[in-house]
Amino acid sequence: MKIIHLTILTLSFIGCSSIKKNKEVTSLIERALDRCEISSQKSALRMCIKQKSKIYPLVNRLGSNKVLPTLIYYFNHGSTKEKKIVTSLIQNIKEMIGDIYKNPTLLKNNVMEEMFTALEDSQKNNAQNIVPIVTYIAILKKKEDKLFNIANKHKISSVRNSIYRYSMKYGQLRLFDKVSEISSTAKDPSLRISALSSLIVMQNYSKKEKEIICGWSASQLNGKRNTYEITELSRVLLLRCSGKYINNVLDKAQKLAKKKKLRRHSLAYLLRKNRTICDKNLIKQKKSTFSQCHKLNKIRAQLK
């Protein structure tokens, strides 16, 4: 009887979490709990600035692969207050994963599974806040099949959409076919927009990436796309592609203007606010031309 009781206790302990907590990270969380008054979800994000800022030197010294496991442990298994604190800390370090970027194996698979668990639980209001870092690391560790499976089944559409939105930052051409397909075939318009937004989250396009992604984006402008999709594609072409691809956006705007559809189109707002096409420094860098600037100004004149 004692043996059976001991076995059950051991199994329940193992099932709770296999993550080993880091003492320094745990200490930081404990100090934040002692010194910060947390009464709502938002307060955890606005208060305790001094305590939260201490996470930066800790990540710089230990590496995100040493800090994240403890944060994820408390996100999944901590008290309500602990979860609010670590959610804020996770948000703060989402762009500080250089060590994992260089060597994805530094983050152990059991920690990745805990991160997936955190993402899957639709009852956690904080799930949305950890989407970027979980998505980044899952993609780096080439766990995108499980990541997208979680996204497609998720009960919270904003979590699902954000997974796709952040997927191309490190997915690049490896995930482009998947993302472009979702942007074209998903029934939910918000998901299609999120998939297109991922092309903006992805930065520093290589020559090959520009050729493929920008060429595809330009071809989609004249396809069966709604107003907001056309605007999002135009943002991709203006912000990530530039050069000759600006002409595709301006040509689309002119076609809409001739049909008297531009003034109420969201593309009109994008072109009114654009500050890059006529930027002299960008023209010197051949990212735009004086001719394109002149064309833009003519379009703007029609919108007055």
pLDDT digits (tens, 9 = 90+) for 89-131: 998 899 999 999 999 999 999 999 999 999 987 565 578 889 9
Residue type, 68: L
Residue 237 lies in a domain: yes
pLDDT tens column, 43-68:
444 556 676 788 999 999 999 999 99
Residue 62: count other Cβ atoms within 10 Å of its Cβ.
Answer: 15
Q: At what angle do helices 144-153 and 157-166 cross, to 10 degrees?
A: 150
Residue 252 lies in a domain: yes
Q: Tokens standing for 126?
A: 């904080």
pLDDT tens column, 247-263:
999 999 999 999 999 99
Residue 134 lies in a domain: no
- Sorted by sequence, the CB contacts under 8 Å of residue 160 that are 6+ apart come out as 151, 152, 154, 191
Residue 241 lies in a domain: yes
Residue 270: count other Cβ atoms within 10 Å of its Cβ.
Answer: 17
> What gap in Å lies between CA 76 and CA 117, rounded to an integer?
8
Q: Which stretches of 17-92 are DSSP H helices?
A: 23-35, 41-46, 49-52, 55-62, 64-77, 80-92
CB 94 within 8 A of CB 132: yes
Q: What integer best gives the mean pLDDT of the chain?
A: 89
Of the candidates 169, 74, 166, the one whose C-alpha atom is nearest the C-alpha of residue 126 is: 74
- Domain of 220 in residue numbering reads as 216-304
Residue 229 lies in a domain: yes
Domain count, the chain: 1
Residue 48 lies in a domain: no
pLDDT tens column, 185-221:
999 999 999 999 999 999 899 999 999 999 999 999 9
